Amino acid sequence: MKLQTRLQLSYGYLVTLVLIGAIGGALGFHALGKKLGVVLDENFESVQASMAMLEALERQDSAVLMALLSKEGARTDVEASESAFLEALGRARNNVTEEQERPAIESISQAYSRYRAARDHLLDAVVETPLARYESDCFPYFDLVKTGVRDLLELNHRAMVRADREAQTAAAQRAIGYAALTALALMSLGMLSHSLRRNIISRLGELHTVAESVGRGDLRRRAAEEPSDELGEVARELNRLLDSHEELRSRLAARPQRLREIVIGLLRERRSGAALLTLDGEIFASTLDAATTERIEAEGSRLAGTEAAQPVERDVVLEGKRFRVQALLADNDQPIGWLVAALDSTE
């Protein structure tokens, strides 16, 4: 697999994890908040209706007592509080959210009907001890209605508490899931970093080291060619270039030696022996004896004729022996070297 493909897959995997976590978190908390909001709103409406019924029932009870004591306007207060109670009871009946609410509301309605019947009978009758009759005839039904409303209130309160606990549990579960996803992302990031160091950074460092070695003149160093990817291809091309350079250098290094051997072979054709000097007066090849060769090398600069007035061919005497110094000319008649040949006595 190519290096580019592996990098794209690795970073795509990490991006996917991040997107899953972000989208999942947003959708999860949105759904959780929406559900909790609906539950709280609905149950809170029932709680408000229950509290309104309790308040209206208390006012109604007080108005009934005032009416029994013949207080003016008390019957009007009874009717107003009754209207408020029935309106709150209707709100509760129209906002049933729990299975237990409907029978609880029906029980309140039935208890209130009995309370109202006992209340109206007591208010319309003429009795000597109205308060005592109230305690015996009306108050038990009043207490039954009040208990039913409190039960309805407690029922909705428990529903709100349960919804809160469920929300906390769901939030905790989602937090655990997001923590696990985050841990997986961190582990994946660590593995990706390790893979990057091993497969890219370390190999780039190796290529840099090889390049520095080549810059210092060390052409024996080679880069690792595995695994076979883009960096492996770069390493192979670099190694191929260094091998070609090494082969070329070996050929060039062997060429002067072969050329010298050819020159020596040509010089041996002269029976008296000869030496070939470079333009700088250095011995390139010689078939003369060692002592004569050393003497010619010592006189090399003079014999080569670095001066422009030096003739193309001349005779010199070294150690009592005569030598002929002859310029070797290129196609453009420029000297490329000097041939120093020993002369026989007959020459």
Q: What is the mean pLDDT of residues 121-150?
A: 86
Secondary-structure class of domain 3-192 per CATH: mainly alpha
Q: What is the mean pLDDT of residues 160-182?
A: 81
**pLDDT at residue 113 in the model:** 92
Homologous superfamily of 268-342 = YNR034W-A-like (3.40.1840.10)
**pLDDT at residue 1 in the model:** 60
d(CA 337, CA 248): 26
Looking at the predicted structure, is the pLDDT value of residue 308 above 50? no
**pLDDT at residue 35 in the model:** 67
Q: What is the mean pLDDT of residues 328-343?
A: 80
Give the angle subtended at the CA of 164 by the CAs of 163 and 166, to the nearest 5°: 65
**pLDDT at residue 97 in the model:** 78
Looking at the predicted structure, is the pLDDT value of residue 347 above 50? no
Residue-wise pLDDT tens digits, 238-297: 888 878 877 777 777 667 767 777 777 777 777 678 888 887 778 888 888 888 888 887
Q: What is the mean pLDDT of residues 17-30?
A: 76
Residue-wise pLDDT tens digits, 58-107: 998 888 888 888 787 888 888 899 999 999 989 888 888 778 888 998 99
**pLDDT at residue 327 in the model:** 82
Q: What is the mean pLDDT of residues 139-143?
A: 90
**pLDDT at residue 87 in the model:** 92
Looking at the predicted structure, is the pLDDT value of residue 124 above 80? yes
The domain ranges of the chain are: 3-192, 268-342
Residue-wise pLDDT tens digits, 202-249: 777 777 887 888 777 777 777 777 777 777 778 788 888 878 877 777
pLDDT confidence tier of residue 55, bands split at 50, 70 and 90: very high
What are 296-304's contacts with CB under 8 Å, separation 24+?
296/323, 296/340, 303/277, 303/338, 303/340, 304/277, 304/278, 304/279, 304/280, 304/338
The percentage of the chain sitting over the pLDDT mark of 70, rounded to a whole number, equals 90
- The answer for residues whose C-beta is within 8 angstroms of residue 144's C-beta and 6 or more apart is 111, 114, 115
d(CA 152, CA 146): 10
User: Which two tokens mark 81?
Assistant: 């509080």
Looking at the predicted structure, is the pLDDT value of residue 346 above 50? no
Average pLDDT, the chain: 80
